[in-house]
């Protein structure tokens, strides 16, 4: 990107923050260059006047953005129309004109599955989010979420154990939110990608998160919802996925868990019922060739015993929790979580009295 285009990108990022409908203009123009944005026909299609867009771009010039990027070379800008811009995101109705990206931009071109849910999950919801993300990453998918507390955080953590993940921010690149997830964001940047359309200094305001959600679903082949209240941002993400022509998947839960009601509503409305990673992979079978073109995991079969102490602790027949605890030395919480993940992956089954390896 030349110096003029770089400056133009930063102006557009700030202009789109002030006026979100700028994305419609850039999509109509198909370019970030001034001559394309101020073309009379393009402006008319997008409902803008040439003078208005010139004034907005002029008002949005801010040298502090350039200074911030100079001081943080691990962040870069990727504009609509550039080779590094994610191809799936380009297909949504109003793609963000500019993305601030930290990490490997090539990750954004790999097949992604969005995994979202409540910020206050139940114990089952936490285990499910971690297990689904871990299994999807192991199967070659990039797991995309919003870095929020609860399901999002568990999804990122699970994906990092076996693959990679993308975190989409609802704030500027200099304001990781929530603050307690700053260490997690650093881990994601090392092997995955942090993404935001908001310029430096943009705070995590409430109206930013629906805009963030359209990027989460827009980057992804499908959106998987793990626990959601009837009114939640996760359901907004699911609705946006439908509008973008993407698959919506939902995990059923207990009838006595209020955080399951949103998923049950999605299932009634036609979302696909997911009980395991195998279900997700079957749902995405038409895109399987895309997934297999990505960097494959070393193995999609059962983990080798020398790599997984829990699987290595199994003997023939039913193994109870006391036996597995004694053999692995893991605390009950960690052991229970790993057993749930292995059950999701189809490597063990739960039987009266314990578990049996398949």
Domain identity same for 237 and 349:
no
Interacting residues of 1 by C-beta distance below 8 A, sequence separation 6+: 9, 77, 79, 82
Domain identity same for 112 and 250:
yes
- Where the chain has pLDDT below 70, the residues are 1-4, 286-307, 316, 352-353
Domain identity same for 155 and 276:
yes
Q: How many CB atoms sit inside 10 A of residue 129's CB?
A: 30
Residue 90: inside a domain, yes or no? Answer: no
Token pair for residue 287?
Answer: 């895109």
121 lies in which domain range? 106-293
Q: How many CB atoms sit inside 10 A of residue 311's CB?
A: 18
Domain identity same for 126 and 259:
yes
Domain identity same for 218 and 138:
yes
Domain identity same for 279 and 314:
no
Interacting residues of 178 by C-beta distance below 8 A, sequence separation 6+: 147, 148, 149
Domain identity same for 282 and 341:
no
Domain identity same for 197 and 151:
yes
Q: Between vectors from CA 208 to CA 204 and to CA 211, what angle results, nearest 5°?
A: 145
Phi, psi values for residue 207, rounded to 5° = -75, -5
**H-helix or E-strand containing 249?**
strand 247-250
Residue 346: inside a domain, yes or no? Answer: yes
Query: What residue has token string 């079969």?
Result: 301
How far, in Å, CA of 236 to CA of 215, rounded?
12
Domain identity same for 131 and 181:
yes
Q: How many domains does the chain have?
A: 3
- The DSSP annotation for 185-204 comes to HHHHHHHSEEEESSPTT---
Domain identity same for 229 and 337:
no
Residue 194: inside a domain, yes or no? Answer: yes
How far, in Å, CA of 26 to CA of 285, rounded?
33
pLDDT tens string 118-145 = 999 999 999 999 999 999 999 889 999 9
Token pair for residue 346?
Answer: 């189809």
Q: What is the pLDDT of residue 302?
A: 38
Q: What is the dihedral of CA 158, 159, 163, 165, to 10 degrees?
A: -150
> What's 249's domain CATH number?
3.40.50.450
Domain identity same for 289 and 313:
no
pLDDT tens string 8-39 = 788 888 888 888 878 888 887 777 777 778 78
Q: Can you say how many angstroms the Cα of residue 41 is from the centroid of all Cα atoms in its chain? A: 36
pLDDT tens string 234-248 = 999 999 999 999 999
């Amino acid at each position: 990107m030349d110096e003029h285009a770089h400056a133009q990108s930063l102006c557009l990022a700030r202009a789109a923050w002030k006026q979100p409908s700028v994305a419609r203009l850039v999509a109509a123009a198909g370019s970030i260059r001034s001559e394309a944005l101020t073309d009379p026909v393009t402006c008319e299609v997008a409902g803008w006047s040439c003078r208005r867009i010139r004034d907005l771009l002029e008002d949005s010039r801010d040298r502090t953005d350039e200074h911030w990027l100079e001081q943080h070379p691990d962040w870069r800008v990727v504009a609509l129309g550039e080779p590094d811009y994610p191809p799936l995101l380009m297909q949504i109705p109003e793609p963000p004109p500019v993305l601030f990206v930290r990490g490997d931009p090539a990750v954004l071109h790999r097949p992604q599955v969005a995994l979202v849910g409540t910020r206050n999950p139940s114990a089952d919801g936490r285990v499910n989010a971690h297990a689904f993300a871990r299994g999807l990453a192991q199967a070659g998918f990039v797991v995309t979420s919003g870095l929020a507390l609860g399901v999002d955080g568990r999804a990122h953590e699970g994906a990092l154990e076996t693959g990679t993940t993308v975190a989409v921010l609802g704030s500027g690149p200099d304001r990781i939110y929530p603050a307690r997830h700053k260490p997690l964001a650093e881990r994601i940047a090392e092997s995955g990608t942090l993404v935001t359309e908001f310029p430096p200094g943009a705070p995590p305001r409430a109206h930013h998160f629906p805009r963030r959600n359209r990027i989460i679903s827009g980057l992804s082949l499908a959106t998987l919802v793990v626990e959601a209240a009837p009114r939640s941002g996760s359901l907004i993400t699911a609705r946006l996925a439908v509008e973008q022509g993407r698959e919506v998947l939902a995990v059923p839960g207990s009838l006595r868990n209020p955080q399951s009601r949103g998923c049950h509503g999605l299932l009634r409305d036609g979302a696909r019922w997911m009980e395991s990673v195998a279900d997700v992979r079957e749902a995405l079978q038409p895109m399987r060739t895309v997934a297999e073109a990505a960097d494959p995991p070393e193995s999609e079969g059962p983990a080798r015993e020398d790599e997984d102490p829990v699987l290595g602790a199994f003997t023939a027949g039913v193994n109870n929790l006391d036996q597995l605890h004694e053999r692995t030395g893991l605390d009950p919480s960690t052991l229970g979580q790993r057993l749930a993940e292995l059950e999701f992956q189809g490597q063990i089954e739960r039987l009266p009295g314990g578990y049996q390896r398949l």
